[in-house]
Chains A and B, each alone.
Chain A
Amino acid sequence: MAVAVMFLNNACLRGRCCRHKVLQPLLGTFCADSMSKCYSSYRRPGSQPEVTPSWRNIDFSFKKGINALKTQLSLLKKETKDHLTGPDGHSFSHYMLEQTKVMWVFRCQEDLNKWVISSDVEIGGKSEVYLKLGRNNQGAMLYGILNTEVPRDGETKYSGYCSMRAKPAVGSFARKKYYDWSNFNSLYLRVRGDGRPWMVNIYTDPYFSHQKDDLYNYFMFTRGGPYWEEIKIPFSKFFLSSRGRVQDDQHPIWLDKISTLGFTLGDKVDGPFQLEIDFIGLLNDRAHTEEFAYETYERNPRI
């Protein structure tokens, strides 16, 4: 059986166009060729065609494997030392008394590498987004052109977004790490925008895939500059959304397990945009006592 599959596969390897018509309906999942996905042969307009099979991308070099192991072990050693020191590698009294913390600052290329930019190109749109260091290496500049033209693929209805998102923290051996922001109650951003409204997104990386699209959002309205502005967004204002839809059942964000932060622009206005970010920090604003801004009343009161 396996030999028959291999034979058929090789025979049709060059004629990829007919494979989907002939082999896919006949053999389905038995055609486990790396060139085709078993579940769908559709490729999104913006995504690159897969030229090399995935197994070819694996580097079987023994020396590189040893070096990677050494790197991971040294990371593990550092993590162990930090664990003995205190939360996040700082002393316990530092944790108990901290009132402000700078999470991300943009001063060199390495700081930019901690972020990922994306736009609607991945769904076939035409927006452009770039990220570079600002003048005198003070701050990051996220700029580009927003284009709301909808890709002509018959299924996409809306387009026109650009975003920048922090890469999730990764520990030794590619284990996920989370930020503990429970000591703080506000996000503090020093930005210089162009007057466009941005959305700040916080992702808490849930364990199960049912909630993987859950995101906590709030708006950041920027002025046009030339002055830097310091924007404080309390965490109590963030609302829960899933796949971009605001949820009816709202809950405050729990700050003990934060994965990433991101900025999205999707204000449906074609044209260039620019956002400079000096740093992103956290603040414990003692004047802010609100716990949650939405739906704090009891929805089904017992009479």
Chain B
Amino acid sequence: MSGDARSSAFEIELRLLLEAIFLRFHYDFRSYSMASLRRRVTAALSALGCETVSALQEKILHQPETFTALLQYLTVQVSDMFRDPAFFLAFRQHVVPELATYPSPRVWIAGASSGEEVYTVAIILAEEGLLDRALLYATDINPDAIAKAKAGVYAEERIPTFAANHRAAGGKQPFERYYTSAYGHAAFDRKLRDRVVFADHSLATDSVFAEVQAVTCRNVLIYFDRTLQERAVGLFRDALSRRGFLGLGAMESLQLTKQSSAFEPFLPELKWYRRS
């Protein structure tokens, strides 16, 4: 059998698996990047002790509790605080002053993962004197990630990177101020999440839930195909107030979407756009 035929067997099984997941668990991965899913499902196979994707499908249908484990492979939980400091410096210097003109500005962090980006935004708003009257929505489809985001506890060995990025992003306070350390962990100040609403929300299946003045959605769209990217950007368009801000990840842009007329470049080289 040729390699091509073998790989298409894998792809057929993969599509069937995604269909089964949608029908049984209502998670919709059917329009995700196949190249990425292929890798992640291959990793899940060995971790969950399955020879084939079909076997994995049987397993999650008949032992639904294993789906939680599979979800950890299907969603990518890689994050950092102040990742790409220049992006967050621009947020601080150019977006926050505009948000400050609203009595109660709202920011939506879509695909917030385990919360690093949420604390990043909260720290900047706190340093700029805006956190007390702001409201942050932090959404994700992975319940374990949301639980971690709420807890706000990270391995202490990550602190030097966080702190260096914070400084590079124009940090105004000593970073130690934001957490307490114990037993190799850093627990972030609860005050930082007083103004955060954490919610389970899918850019693939859910709709707009609030009007916001800024959205950050970073390193999430790269996992979607172009159709799903359109859907997600459509949600941001509908959620944003006029002249609201959209910030994307370093490798993402609105270049290929059909929504370009709804947005204008704000600081496009830093991936900041503005609702027109």
User: Are both chains from one complex?
Assistant: no
